[in-house]
Amino acid sequence: MKETKVMVLGAAGFIGTNLTYRLLKENCTLICLDLPESDLSFAEEHGAKVIKGSITDLNSRITGALDGVDVLFHLVSTTCPTNSNTHVAKELEDNILATVRLLDACVEHRVGRVVFLSSGGTVYGRGHKGLLKETDPTDPISSYGIQKLVIEKYLYLYRQMYGLDYRIVRLSNPFGPYQRPNGVQGLIAACTWKMLRKEPVEIYGDGSVVRDYIYVDDAIEGIMNVASDKAREKIYNLGSGNGMTVKEVVNLVGYMLHTRPQIVTKEARKVDVPVNVLDISRYVAEFGNPITIDMDEGIWRLAMFYERIR
């Protein structure tokens, strides 16, 4: 990222905040975009240019900022797996149509590369039992997963039609500082926050759902590697390559916080695939093992972060 112009869409979100902090350490010209109500003062104070707005309403201020951008990180989504499928038509307009218009602007303003944060947890669907490879069939069971996959396909199309370069990160379940503990995503964040407050933890179904988790610092370094010129492929799974059940995660958080979880069982959700663990061999072959912070250490760091802000 040395001496380049970089733009982050969704810079105030969980991944966006951590990525922005990482990019502020680089010798690059940084532009951060997020919604008008978002707080990007931390980026502005460190020299980044801040733009308030949305890709659903591409104005001249946003498109003009694309001029000369070498790397554009697209982290924006108006939905997540658990709340998609509700207003599908609006989701398509806010995410797919908005992204296509953004790609048109990228072509017009000669953006060097688009790095899109896709979903390793939803694009593959439920018909898998082993480690998921980038070449495996993709059959999402949520509108969120379909949207991510469609955007991936449009990136491929724009590469073929206009030469627009891109990279796709199919990320597993990241956790760490700046993740909202009361949001609709993030099992580890929710468990950590609630156990610190001695509140009950909600589990959907019998707790046997298996997921792949990665600490946010490792996720950010992985995203940076994929965004670089060193990446030979267009699509990379990024996760730990190991699965844990929901119950195992809850018990581990309890162990790290020296507390016994109070569990409330709720009805299983249709959007939850039974098993989702990413095969990260493509990433490892090029960049090495992405994991430097294990689950225990990551949970402890997150707990310390929440203790400081609550």
Model pLDDT for residues 254-292, shown as the tens digit of each residue = 999 999 999 999 998 887 888 999 999 999 999 999 999
- Position 206 scores a pLDDT of 92
pLDDT at 183 over 80: no
What residue type is assigned to position 184 of the chain?
Answer: V
- The token duo for 200 is 């009950």
Cα(41)–Cα(19) distance, integer angstroms: 15
Cα(104)–Cα(279) distance, integer angstroms: 33
Torsion sign over Cα 78, 83, 85, 88: negative
- Position 80 scores a pLDDT of 65
- Position 17 scores a pLDDT of 97
Name the pTM for this structure: 0.94
- Position 193 scores a pLDDT of 95
Cα(195)–Cα(33) distance, integer angstroms: 34
* Residues 196-210, mean pLDDT to the nearest whole number: 92
pLDDT at 83 over 70: no
pLDDT bracket for residue 85 (50, 70, 90): low
**Average pLDDT of the residues of the chain:** 93
Cα(307)–Cα(305) distance, integer angstroms: 5
